[in-house]
Amino acid sequence: MLTALERIRRKVEAGEPLEEREWEVLRSAARDTPGPTLRLTLAHAWVNAGAEREALPLLESLRRDFPQDIQVRLGLARALLGLERMGEAETVLRDVLALNPGDPEALKVLAVLALRRGEHGRARAFVAEALARDPFDAEARLLKEELESGELPPPPVPPAPASRAEFLAALLAALHRAGVACRRQGTHLLVKFASGGVGRMDVDSLHAAYRESAQPLTEHVAELVARLRGLSGPAGAEDGWERRVRPVLRPARFSERAVGALHRPAGAGLEVFYVLEDEAFVRYLPETSLGPAGLSAPEVDALAWSHLEANPAPVRAVVLEEGRVVLVERGTGVWAVAGGDGLDGARLLTEAQRRRLVAHVGEGPWCVHLGWREFALVCRESDEASRGALSRLGAAPDGIEGLFRLADGGLEVL
């Protein structure tokens, strides 16, 4: 009789979705069982569910822990293919062939990659080699029949994502066609909402969301305009913005770009601004919202920080690889405060988040890197190697440059 865990493994191998209880069983078993097998099964379950981004850090850590394991590398190639990272997937598959010459699974996937690129000669060579190893391999035979059915045209090359300037021009044109009053102001876009209020949108964040969506530009802009037309302005009482206001940290003189947005000094050359929680847009709270709401600036500040205090972010171990931040399972000296909502820098100033830092990173003071809005990076101030790694890490255009010291008194410039 099959055990519950074995039934789960077979479902994953068959590509079937798991129920919530089965996810819990598999996660627990993968965490508590040595060796790569169950961790690899968990990674495949994530890929089956379309969560390749969740699977990738686990697969990369498995490759480091088990560099000779063929199945681990095949799983990594599968996740990379799901993320459309074809070049990286091909490199992994060639590593498989170096470890196990003639590996049929690697040959078949390389054949599919060649087909997608219109490289039919290479595809035939890979299929021929796979069939020479196993003439009865059903997948290889299907690929051979597909290649013999006629010369296939190369697949259409997807257009490159539009640049920031092209995206902004398309968005402004679509807003004007839809009759939405708007105006560009530096790195922001001012939009008049249906309720009459005016919202401030961060253009870099809108462009980043477009690139991540992988949608055609026209389609994405049309959906964006539809959402913008339906939004209420932050000054309207019906919008309930008091429940959604959150603090964010911005670099010095950011107020010159976010004209009219409510803000205050935060120390260390930083400023606290206030945004409205939203999945798609960065909407800064204007000073003019205070009067209609009957609130003072200190009262809004207290509201914003109380909401953030109640929602600390997970602290995840990471490793820095060639300017990239990669999640790993075990601590390396650097951790990410990874809420992923652009609020992680401000979270460092909350008691709840500092308690999590103590639990994962150890007692402060800590060294902090705020170069990306997607997360904040932290190491112990006494860890010279990790501090050096953070100091060499660059910053995104919308990030905050430099390193900071975090202690009980808040942030200080290092």
Question: pLDDT per residue over 206-223, tens digit each?
Answer: 887 788 777 788 888 888
Residue 235 belongs to a domain: yes
What mean pLDDT is reported for the chain? 83
Question: Are residues 101 and 77 both part of a single domain?
Answer: yes
354-380 pLDDT, tens digit per residue, is 999 999 999 989 999 999 888 899 999
Q: How many domains does the chain have?
A: 3
Of the three residues 274, 307, 340, the one that is the final residue of a domain is: 307
Question: Are residues 135 and 260 both part of a single domain?
Answer: no
Residue 276 belongs to a domain: yes
Question: Are residues 142 and 244 both part of a single domain?
Answer: no
Question: Are residues 187 and 127 both part of a single domain?
Answer: no
Question: Are residues 180 and 206 both part of a single domain?
Answer: yes
Angstrom distance (rounded) from CA 188 to CA 185: 5
Question: Are residues 120 and 13 both part of a single domain?
Answer: yes
Q: Which domain holds residue 140?
A: 4-148
Question: Are residues 239 and 341 both part of a single domain?
Answer: no
Residue 194 belongs to a domain: yes
Question: Are residues 303 and 372 both part of a single domain?
Answer: no
Residue 132 belongs to a domain: yes
Least confident span in 90-94, 234-238, 287-291: 234-238
- Smallest CA-to-CA distance from 316 within 301, 292, 332 is with 332
Residue 157 belongs to a domain: no
Residue 219 belongs to a domain: yes
Structure pTM?
0.52
Question: Are residues 133 and 103 both part of a single domain?
Answer: yes
295-325 pLDDT, tens digit per residue, is 899 999 999 999 999 989 999 898 887 677 8
Of the three residues 148, 181, 210, the one that is the final residue of a domain is: 148
Angstrom distance (rounded) from CA 273 to CA 85: 36
Question: Are residues 264 and 190 both part of a single domain?
Answer: yes
**What CATH number is attached to the domain comprising 106?**
1.25.40.10
Residue 106 belongs to a domain: yes
Of the three residues 284, 307, 330, the one that is the final residue of a domain is: 307
Between CA 337 and CA 342, with CA 338 as vertex, the angle to 5 degrees is: 105
Question: Are residues 275 and 379 both part of a single domain?
Answer: no
The pLDDT assigned to 1 comes to 44
